[in-house]
């Protein structure tokens, strides 16, 4: 069936502002939206700019706004966004990050926030025998957060960033949870300082847009609230001691 | 306008940020000035798509030995594996997996809290007696967790990254490597990175085939750049087709499904692997399982039964139960739901072989040093590791889980060797003219004249390679493929960009990638044409037997202008003498 892909275009060398361009492509309902973009790029307009790599939802390159919702073009089937012949799918770049070209945005700030929560297991104790022990139950506590592919869909979906651009954002907080709750990690204090700060977890207002947008089905809002609870408990402990 | 390239000076430059590149970077950055260049952001690298596991004879759930693992690797590779290298791989595997765990990798655990292990194809106890639990795993996203863990360590160690830089040339002077030429995608600027040591860790090149599990980025940039600078590529005829890709799409369905008990069935519901490999059944090595599937399809036993090339078989995981699927194979379950609209707990998965892994690549020694010929001549300062390299530990057919292992073991060894090498190596001096040839190539593509776009050439290349240099091969079809690829390479010279801007010109990037794939397709087809035997993944209808008298040798393919020159070098068979390969 023929569908119309309406893409936001922008080339800083020639355009004063972003504009929309429409392409008509012949697609099967079960094909991916990424297949439609590739068809345009290969056979209609080589100048269309977007990132892509794995094409099956595990590398996080092709996150974009699809009909106003954030997600991966390779994990969105044509039939989910264009049911009938002649339907239009609107494709825009992710929000809150400077547009570099068409659907390509500058993610440096997003990754800077990720780096700020120290996204690695901190444990300076020497391992005596080969592996550190960890029960399967302990591991499952943070299991879903290890699914994160840093695609930034949740970041673009979050309404808080609209008013507070310094907010750490859902992805960085979720990764903080991943390490805070890993039984092998020994250093929560430094992460708590950042998470408890004015741009840490507290600006979150439970809109759940991050959870809805996550292509890896991570319960992001729940993890943010768990950290709020951890911080409150720590505060109470501090008062009682 | 002639732009002057930006010149950088480093001790070590690593091209590629997957498992091999990042592991090498962790080592090399300890005491040498190191830069990691990648055309993707590091966490987008294709290591992240590896699913099932990483093998090591930890013996956490049942008895196992590195020696058994090495033997399985050699036999799995149809005796084209260099055997001392296989021993290094399997002996160092144990510490490599512990290191990953210590660095934070969240492996699945046994009831005792140890790293859990499961079965995988071709991995056996006691030299082939039966399957063994050797694959350490983190659900079915083991590669994702390795990539994340290594990237996180690089953040901790403050490694310097240059993200979205595309390599276009290698600077060689005689047998000394002096750096690389790269394009910065954000600006279109040329950069010259002068370095005492350069490591290629650019991954695979499955995008030369129509149906592949590989990412768009897997275009063999490292091997192609080396080949154009006179370095031979080893064993290019050995390309692995993974037995179970999602029908039509090629998306990988991990061998771990069969490791956990999944069964392949034909249209009669028959477990057909009983007839091909009675001992290992569905867990035979990949080359054998892929051929068995194709044989079933050709005999009218595919699910449709029409003997067409796109007929398929079923991978049945319905008896594994929802709990096992959720805990151990959640991503696979998700892929089936997203792309097929089925739940593998309820319905069998329609599968077909998919182009998956290059056993061949840039020839190296056991420390990652690149070798120039069959006399073991080293290129000083040049290294390669991971899928783009050929040590060779995979021979004619790689075992599942040995690729992730290859990355960490040989990525680390290369990084360690580089650390020593740069201490004593003299500083290299490179001037702007080093970028001249790369500039001319790019200027030709972007000169503003009219020319064909790359899309159709790419399509024809992928179809040709899939149909004529696929699982079953013969003289006539491979000769056709060589001729077609040569014709496409001629047409490629006329290709011009449609995108004339400098900012994120992904059109230019894809044309550069297409040029790389065309050169590698030619080397693959020519190497395959010249190997008149069947061994591992190279299976010929006109030479159906393995011929150790003539072909127990690695091929070395040199790209010389528009021709391919082939040489051969000996295989290290010092431990196990080649035997017939039955399972």
Of A104, A119, A138, the CB nearest to B152: A119
For B409-546, list the strands marked E by DSSP. Answer: 472-473, 539-540
Nearest-by-Cβ selection for A46 from B97, B98, B499: B499
b/e string for B132-161 if b means 16 or more Cβ within 10 A? bbbbbbbbbbbbbbbbbbbbbbbbbeebeb
For A144, phi and psi rounded to 5 degrees? -65, -30
**Which residue from B113, B148, B455 is facing A134, i.e. has the nearest CB?**
B113
CA B224, B227, B229, B232 torsion: positive or negative?
Answer: positive
Q: Do B498 and A147 touch (CB under 8 A)?
A: no
Å from A133 to nearest chain B CA?
Answer: 5
Facing residue for A135 by CB, picked from B95, B113, B498: B113
CA distance B427 to B9: 9
pLDDT at residue B309, rounded to an integer? 87
Give B48's contacts in chain A (Cβ within 8 Å). Answer: 54, 58-59, 149
Residue B566, judged by CB atoms within 10 A of its CB (0-12, 13-18, 19+), counts as middle
Which of A33, A35, A41, A54 to mutate to probe the B interface, most B CBs <10 Å? Answer: A54
Q: Which residues of A touch B456 (CB under 8 A)?
A: 43
Q: State residue A126's pLDDT score.
A: 87
- What pLDDT does A238 receive? 73
* CA separation for the pair B347, A49 (Å, rounded): 39
Q: Distance (Å, rounded) from C-alpha B333 to C-alpha B335? A: 6
How many CB atoms sit inside 10 A of residue B304's CB?
13
Res B128 pLDDT > 80: yes
Count the neighbouring beta carbons within 10 Å of the beta carbon of residue B570.
10
Write the pLDDT tens digit of every residue in B446-462: 998 989 989 999 999 99
Q: What is the pLDDT of residue A142?
A: 97
Separation of CA B562 from chain center: 25
Confidence of residue B2 (pLDDT cuts 50, 70, 90): low
Interface with chain A: mutation pick from B96, B98, B152, highest number of A CBs within 10 Å: B152
> Residue A68, CB half-sphere, CA atoms under 13 Å: how many?
2
Alpha carbons B130 and B280: distance in angstroms, whole number: 7
Q: Which residues contact A209 (CB under 8 A, 6 or more apart)?
A: A154, A157, A158, A159
Residue B59 C-beta-side C-alpha neighbours within 13 Å: 11
Cβ-Cβ contacts under 8 Å, A33 against chain B: none
Contact A139 B251 (CB under 8 A): no
User: How many contacts, defined by CB atoms under 8 Å, are there between A and B?
Assistant: 164
Angle at Cα B519 formed by Cα B514 and Cα B525, nearest 5°? 120
A237 has a pLDDT exceeding 90: no
pLDDT band at A70 (very low <50, low <70, confident <90, very high): very high
Cα separation, B410 vs B201, in Å, equals 11
- Contacts with B141 from chain A: Cβ below 8 Å: 58, 146-147
Torsion of CA B114, B51, B255, B397, to 10 degrees: -100
Give the residue ranges of DSSP H helices in B244-320.
Answer: 256-259, 273-276, 286-298
Instruction: Give the per-residue pLDDT at B1.
Output: 45
Q: Is residue B549 a contact partner of residue B59, using CB atoms and an 8 Å limit?
A: no
The percentage of chain B sitting over the pLDDT mark of 70, rounded to a whole number, equals: 100
What are the pLDDT digits (tens) for B134-153?
999 999 999 999 999 999 99
Contact between chains at A130 and B216 (C-beta distance less than 8 A): no
Taking alpha carbons only, the member of B24, B8, B12, B10 closest to residue B381 is: B12
B109 included as an active-site residue? no
Chain B neighbours among A 144-183 (CB < 8 Å)? 146-147, 149-150, 179, 182
Cβ count near A186 (within 10 Å): 12
Place of tokens 């302990």: A138
pLDDT in tens, A203-230: 999 999 999 999 999 999 999 999 999 9
Contact of B536 with B241, CB cutoff 8 Å: no
CA distance A158 to A160: 6
Pair of tokens at residue B392: 């060779």
> In chain B, which residue's Cα lies nearest the Cα of A119?
B152
Q: Which residues of B touch A150 (CB under 8 A)?
A: 43
Nearest to A61 among B44, B111, B338 (CB): B44
User: How far apart are the CA of B458 and the nearest CA of chain A, in angstroms?
Assistant: 9
Q: How far is CA B482 from CA B239, B343, B461, B525, in A?
A: 16, 42, 10, 6
**Plot region of B160 (φ>0 → left; ψ -120 to 50 → alpha; else → beta):** beta
In sequence order, what are the beta bridge partners of B351? B246, B313
Per the residue annotation, which of B119, B207, B286, B540 is the catalytic one?
A: B286
A241 falls in which pLDDT band (50, 70, 90)?
A: low
Kindly report, residue by residue over A75-132, the tens digit of the pLDDT: 999 999 999 999 999 999 999 999 999 999 999 999 999 999 999 999 999 888 799 9
The string of pLDDT tens digits covering residues B348-364 is 999 999 999 999 999 99
C-alpha span between B468 and B456 (Å, rounded): 18
Whether B18 contacts B46, CB under 8 Å: yes
For the stretch B123-130, contacts whose Cβ atoms lie closer than 8 Å and that sit 24 or more positions apart, written own/partner, are B123/B55, B123/B69, B123/B72, B123/B283, B123/B399, B123/B400, B123/B401, B124/B68, B124/B72, B124/B280, B125/B62, B125/B63, B125/B64, B125/B68, B126/B68, B127/B68, B127/B71, B128/B71, B128/B72, B128/B75, B128/B279, B128/B583, B130/B279, B130/B280
Average pLDDT, rounded, for chain A = 96
Answer yes or no: is pLDDT of A240 > 70. no
Q: Do B101 and A42 touch (CB under 8 A)?
A: no
Find chain B residues with C-beta within 8 A of A111's C-beta: 41
- In the predicted structure, residue B431 carries a pLDDT above the cut 60: yes
Partners of residue B102 in chain A, C-beta under 8 Å: 127, 131-132
Q: What is the DSSP letter of B497?
A: -
> Please, what's the largest Cα pairwise distance for chain B?
68
Each residue's pLDDT tens digit, A140-158: 999 999 999 999 999 999 9
Number of other residues whose CB lies within 10 A of the CB of residue B280? 22
List pLDDT tens digits, range B56-94: 999 999 999 999 999 999 999 999 999 999 999 999 999
- pLDDT at residue B163 greater than cutoff 60: yes
Q: Is A71 on the interface with B (CB under 8 A)?
A: no
Dihedral angle, C-alpha B89, B90, B95, B98, nearest 10 °: 110
Residues from chain B that touch A107, judged by Cβ atoms under 8 A, are 41
Closest Cα in chain A, distance from residue B373 (Å): 34
- Min Cα distance A241 → chain B (Å) is 32
Give dist(CA B119, CA B284) in Å, integer. 11
Inter-chain residue contact A143 with B335, CB threshold 8 Å: no
**Are B102 and A132 inside 8 Å of each other by CB?**
yes
Which of these, B290, B291, B360, B353, lies nearest to B527 by C-alpha position?
B360
Q: DSSP letter for B339, please.
A: I
DSSP label at A3? E
Distance from CA of B235 to the nearest CA of A (A): 26
Name residue, tokens 């090149």.
B205
Q: Which residues on adjacent β-strands are paired with residue B361?
A: B234
Our CA-based measurement puts residue B105 at a distance from the nearest CA of chain A, in whole angstroms, of 9
**How wide is the angle at C-alpha A126 spanned by C-alphas A124 and A131, nearest 5°?**
110
Nearest CA to B502 among B453, B446, B454?
B446
Inform me whether the pLDDT recorded for B537 exceeds 60: yes
Kind and range of the H or E run holding A6: strand A2-9
Q: Do A133 and B114 touch (CB under 8 A)?
A: yes
- Cα angle vertex B253, ends B308, B24, to 5°? 125
Substitution target in B254, B506, B510 with the highest count of A β-carbons within 10 Å is: B506
Residues in chain A with CB shorter than 8 Å from the CB of B217 are: 53
Compare CB distances from A120 to B104, B141, B145 and report the shortest one's residue: B104
Q: Please choose, from the candidates B151, B162, B193, B198, the residue with its C-alpha nearest in 3D space to the C-alpha of residue B26.
A: B151
Average pLDDT of chain B? 96
Q: Name the residue in chain A with its Cα closest to that of B157.
A: A120
State pLDDT tens for residues B27-65. Answer: 999 989 999 999 999 999 999 999 999 999 999 999 999
């Amino acid at each position: 069936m023929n569908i119309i892909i309406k893409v936001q275009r922008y080339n800083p060398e020639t355009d004063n502002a972003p504009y929309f361009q429409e392409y008509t492509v012949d697609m099967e309902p079960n094909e991916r939206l990424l297949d439609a973009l590739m068809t345009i790029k290969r056979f209609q307009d080589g100048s269309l700019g977007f990132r892509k790599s794995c094409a099956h939802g595990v590398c996080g390159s092709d996150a974009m706004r699809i009909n106003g919702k954030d997600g991966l073009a390779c994990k969105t089937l044509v039939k989910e966004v264009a049911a009938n012949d002649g339907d239009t799918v609107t494709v825009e770049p992710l929000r809150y990050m400077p547009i570099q070209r068409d659907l390509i945005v500058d993610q440096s700030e997003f990754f800077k926030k990720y780096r700020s929560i120290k996204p690695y297991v901190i444990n300076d104790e020497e391992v005596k025998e080969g592996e550190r022990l960890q029960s399967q139950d302990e591991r499952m506590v943070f299991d879903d957060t290890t699914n994160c592919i840093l695609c930034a869909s949740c970041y673009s979906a979050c309404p808080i960033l609209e008013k507070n651009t310094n907010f750490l954002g859902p992805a960085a907080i979720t990764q903080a949870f991943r390490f805070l709750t890993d039984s092998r990690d020994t250093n929560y204090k430094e992460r708590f300082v950042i998470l408890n700060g004015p741009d840490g977890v507290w600006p979150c207002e439970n809109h759940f847009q991050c959870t809805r947008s996550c292509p890896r089905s991570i319960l992001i809002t729940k993890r943010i609230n768990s950290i709020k609870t951890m911080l409150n408990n720590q505060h109470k402990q501090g008062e009682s001691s | 306008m002639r732009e002057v390239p930006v010149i950088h000076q480093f001790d070590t430059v690593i091209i590629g940020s997957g498992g091999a590149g990042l592991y090498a970077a962790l080592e090399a950055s300890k005491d040498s000035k190191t830069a990691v260049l990648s055309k993707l952001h590091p966490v987008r690298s294709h290591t992240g798509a590896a699913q099932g596991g990483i093998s090591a004879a930890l013996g956490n759930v049942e008895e196992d030995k590195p020696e058994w693992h090495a033997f399985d690797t050699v036999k799995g590779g149809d005796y084209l594996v260099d055997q001392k290298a296989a021993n290094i791989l399997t002996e160092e595997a144990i510490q490599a997996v512990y290191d990953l765990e210590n660095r934070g990798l969240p492996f699945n655990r046994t009831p005792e809290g140890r790293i859990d292990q499961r079965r995988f194809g071709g991995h056996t106890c006691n030299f082939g007696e039966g399957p063994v639990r050797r694959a350490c795993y983190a659900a079915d996203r083991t590669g994702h967790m390795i990539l994340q863990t290594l990237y996180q360590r690089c953040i901790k160690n403050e490694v310097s990254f240059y993200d979205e830089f595309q390599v276009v040339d290698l600077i060689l002077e005689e047998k000394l490597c002096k750096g690389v030429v790269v394009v910065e995608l954000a600006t279109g600027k040329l950069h010259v990175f002068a370095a005492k040591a350069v490591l290629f860790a650019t991954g695979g090149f499955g995008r030369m085939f129509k149906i592949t599990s590989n990412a768009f980025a897997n275009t063999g940039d490292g091997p192609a750049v080396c080949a154009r600078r006179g370095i031979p590529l080893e064993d290019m005829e050995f390309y692995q087709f993974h037995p179970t890709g999602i029908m039509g799409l090629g998306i990988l369905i991990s061998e771990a499904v069969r490791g956990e008990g999944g069964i392949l069935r034909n249209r009669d519901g028959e477990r057909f692997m009983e007839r091909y490999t009675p001992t290992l059944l569905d867990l035979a090595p990949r080359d054998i399982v892929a051929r068995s599937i194709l044989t079933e399809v050709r005999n009218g036993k595919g699910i449709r039964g029409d003997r067409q090339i796109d007929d398929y078989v079923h991978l049945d995981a319905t008896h594994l139960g929802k709990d096992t699927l959720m805990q151990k194979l959640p991503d696979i379950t998700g892929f089936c739901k997203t792309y097929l609209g089925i739940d593998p707990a309820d319905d069998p998965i329609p599968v077909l072989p998919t182009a998956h892994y290059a056993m061949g690549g840039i020839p190296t020694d056991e420390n990652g040093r690149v070798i120039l010929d069959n006399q073991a001549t080293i290129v000083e300062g040049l290294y390669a590791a991971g899928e783009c390299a050929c040590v060779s530990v995979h021979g004619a057919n790689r075992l599942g889980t040995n690729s992730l292992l290859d990355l960490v073991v040989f990525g680390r060894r290369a990084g360690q060797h580089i650390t020593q090498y740069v201490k004593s190596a003299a500083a290299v001096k490179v001037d702007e003219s080093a970028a001249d040839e790369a500039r001319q190539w790019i200027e030709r593509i972007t000169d503003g004249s009219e020319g064909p776009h790359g899309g159709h050439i790419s399509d024809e290349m992928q179809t040709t390679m899939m149909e004529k240099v696929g699982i079953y091969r013969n003289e006539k079809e491979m000769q056709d493929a060589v001729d077609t690829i040569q014709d496409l390479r001629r047409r490629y010279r006329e290709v011009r960009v449609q995108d004339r801007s400098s900012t994120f010109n992904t059109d230019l990037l894809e044309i550069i990638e297409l040029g790389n794939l065309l050169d590698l397709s030619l080397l693959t087809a020519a190497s395959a044409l010249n190997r008149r035997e069947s061994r591992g993944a190279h299976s010929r209808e006109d030479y159906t037997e393995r011929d150790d008298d003539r072909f127990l040798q690695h091929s070395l393919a040199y790209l010389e202008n528009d021709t391919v020159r082939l040489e051969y070098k000996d295989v290290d068979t010092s431990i196990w003498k080649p035997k017939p390969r039955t399972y």
